[in-house]
Structures are given as structure tokens and as C-alpha cells.
């Protein structure tokens, strides 16, 4: 019998949501995604100690905070480079969440990350720059895409975010599933009766179908899964980024994996683009998305600070 993981690979590109090289080597994903929280976990593994030391030794900056931020960028690139030795596709490396509302700071860091990869002989065709899907982040991604730097827009919860990303020509979006369910449960709403009823699954399905209908090229990559039921309810989505513990569960099961998302072939012209005011209003009307985007930015920023504190302790 074929495992669920192998069946899923035939329907969707499987991406590893981790910075753990051992896990990536085991599960052989197409791509891998990282974020400050995952990098913080990875940096605590003994195998990464030489990378941390090298990042600190080469760090530059006018003062201690600047040098720590530079060391963080260098560590992220070093881990990304190690991951790329093991996968055939791309690695996503995230911009500092503290730049989420600053177009110019996001552009500067994105270009710097690309340049750091270039010094290692890694071209932009192997990279995705990961940016929070704020209005400012989307505008930065629009410019980066024009420069040939492909982007992964993350912390995506609202349909307005998905629309704006597609209209900006973003290469890939990562709509979250598990955090949407978390919010609904925290409001006292009943748990979904089936994975197909899960509000996060419903959100990603709506986005995927809308992109197909209106001929958007932006890749939809479901993210932030809490269980394999959510994953399998999106079988057929372009890509799915999955944590190692869930990949292990899929590998251990031989139950049948049916296609959940199918392209029926219907096509129509896309409606008028969202302007900034329209985006902000439509996103604001979604209480879940407004709260989870803000919370996600705060959490990633906090983990970035913790990572810099870890680096400071090793100097």
C-alpha cells in the first residue's frame, strides 16, 4: 500500500514547514518554509552551533543592535543554504516582522537577503522572500516581483489579503488554516463537524477556487495546520506546507487520500482591483483576520527578538 504522504504528493506539492535539517532530509519535500519561530527552534539545536558562530563572526553594523540584526540575517541565510542542499525547490526566508508596516525597510532587507544568498552561489530562482501580508508588505512584494525576486506572502487570513496579493502579482501566498480554527474555537464557536467544515479549510478553498476562476497565476500554499484532517481536506491545493510531526502521521497511514480540490475549468474576467482604502476596509471588516494578522506579527517579532538575544549571549 502507498502511504498518505505519497498519495498526497501526487495531488499537491509537499513543502516542509520547518528549519530542522534532519526532518527535511527524512521527508524529502519540494520546498521548505522558515519563519522567526522556526529559526529560533533550529538555532537551539546543537547541529546549528557552527552556523551561529560563523554568523556572529561575520556580522556587521554600526552598533550592537545593528550587528545582532545582521547576524540574524546571516544565520537565516546559512540555515536556508543548508536546507537547499537537501531539496530540489525553494526555501522561504522571512523578513523581520518589525518591518511589516514599512515598505522601504522590507525592500532593503529582502534585497540584502538575496545578496547574502548570492555570495553563497545561490540564485534567486531558489528563493522566496517571506513577507507579512499587510498593505505595505504587499506593495513591497509588488516591487520585488518586478525585480525578479519572488515572494511568499504569509500571515494571510482574509479574502482581501488574497485579492491584493494576486493583483500585485505575488508568486505565492500562504493562507493559514490552523490559526483561523484557533480563533473560532476561542470565540466559543462549535468545533467543525468534518474537516471540510473547518473555517480555515473553507477559507483556503475559497481563495484557490477564486484564483482558478479569474486566471490568477499566484500559487496557493495552505499553511498552519493543526491536524492531518485539515491537510487532507485540501488535497489538490497547489502546495501544502506541513510540520514534521504531521508529515510523520501522514507517512504512517495508508488510508486513501481522495482529491479534495478540483479545477472545474470555469473562467471569467477578474473584477476591478482593490485600492488601499478598499483593502483596509475589507480586511478590517473581518474581525478574525484583523486580530490574527496583528497577533501573528507580534509573535514573529517577539521570536525575532528572542533569536537576537540568543545570539547576544553567544558573542
The one-digit pLDDT tens for each residue of the chain (315 residues) are: 799 999 999 999 999 999 888 999 999 999 999 888 888 888 888 888 899 999 999 999 989 999 999 999 999 999 999 999 999 999 999 999 999 999 999 999 999 999 999 999 999 999 999 999 999 999 999 999 999 999 999 999 999 999 999 999 999 999 999 999 999 999 999 999 999 999 999 999 999 999 999 999 999 999 999 999 999 999 999 999 999 999 999 999 999 999 999 998 999 988 878 999 999 999 999 999 999 999 999 999 999 999 999 899 887
Residue 227: what are its φ and ψ, rounded to 5°? -160, 165
pLDDT tens digits along 46-56 = 888 899 999 99
- Asked whether the beta carbons of 222 and 204 are under 8 A apart, the reply is yes
Domain boundaries, the chain: 4-314
- Asked whether the beta carbons of 140 and 160 are under 8 A apart, the reply is no
Task: Quote the pLDDT of residue 36.
Answer: 86
User: Which of 112, 130, 292, 306 is flagged as catalytic?
Assistant: 130
130 is catalytic: yes
Q: Which residues contact 103 (CB under 8 A, 6 or more apart)?
A: 136, 139, 140, 143
The CATH number of 4-314 is: 3.20.20.70
Amino acid at each position: 500500500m502507498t502511504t498518505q504522504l505519497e498519495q498526497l504528493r501526487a495531488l499537491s506539492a509537499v513543502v516542509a514547514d520547518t528549519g530542522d535539517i534532519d526532518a527535511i532530509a527524512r521527508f524529502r519535500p519540494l520546498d521548505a518554509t522558515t519563519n522567526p519561530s522556526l529559526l529560533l527552534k533550529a538555532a537551539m539545536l546543537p547541529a546549528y552551533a557552527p552556523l551561529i558562530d560563523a554568523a556572529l563572526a561575520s556580522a556587521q553594523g554600526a552598533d550592537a543592535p545593528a550587528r545582532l540584526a545582521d547576524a540574524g540575517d546571516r544565520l537565516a541565510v546559512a540555515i536556508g543554504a543548508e536546507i537547499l542542499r537537501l531539496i530540489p525547490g525553494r526555501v522561504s526566508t522571512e523578513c523581520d516582522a518589525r518591518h511589516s508596516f514599512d515598505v522601504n525597510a522590507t525592500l532593503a532587507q529582502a534585497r540584502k537577503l538575496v545578496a547574502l544568498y548570492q555570495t553563497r552561489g545561490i540564485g534567486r530562482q531558489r528563493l522566496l522572500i517571506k513577507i507579512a501580508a499587510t498593505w505595505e508588505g504587499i506593495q513591497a512584494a509588488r516591487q520585488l516581483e518586478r525585480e525578479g525576486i519572488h515572494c511568499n506572502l504569509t500571515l494571510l487570513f482574509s479574502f482581501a489579503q488574497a485579492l491584493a496579493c494576486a493583483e500585485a502579482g505575488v508568486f505565492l501566498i500562504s493562507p493559514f488554516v490552523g490559526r483561523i480554527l484557533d480563533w473560532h474555537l476561542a470565540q466559543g464557536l462549535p468545533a467543525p463537524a468534518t474537516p471540510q467544515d473547518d473555517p480555515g479549510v473553507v477559507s483556503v478553498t475559497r481563495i484557490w477556487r477564486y484564483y482558478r476562476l479569474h486566471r490568477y497565476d499566484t500559487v496557493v500554499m495552505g499553511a498552519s495546520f493543526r491536524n492531518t484532517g485539515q491537510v487532507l481536506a485540501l488535497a489538490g491545493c497547489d502546495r501544502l506546507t506541513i510540520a514534521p510531526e504531521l508529515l510523520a502521521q501522514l507517512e504512517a497511514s495508508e488510508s486513501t487520500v481522495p482529491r479534495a480540490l478540483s479545477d472545474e475549468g470555469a473562467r471569467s474576467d477578474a473584477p476591478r482591483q482593490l485600492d488601499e482604502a478598499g483593502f483596509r476596509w475589507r480586511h478590517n471588516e473581518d474581525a478574525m483576520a484583523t486580530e490574527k494578522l496583528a497577533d501573528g506579527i507580534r509573535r514573529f517579532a517577539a521570536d525575532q527578538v528572542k533569536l537576537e538575544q540568543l545570539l547576544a549571549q553567544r558573542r
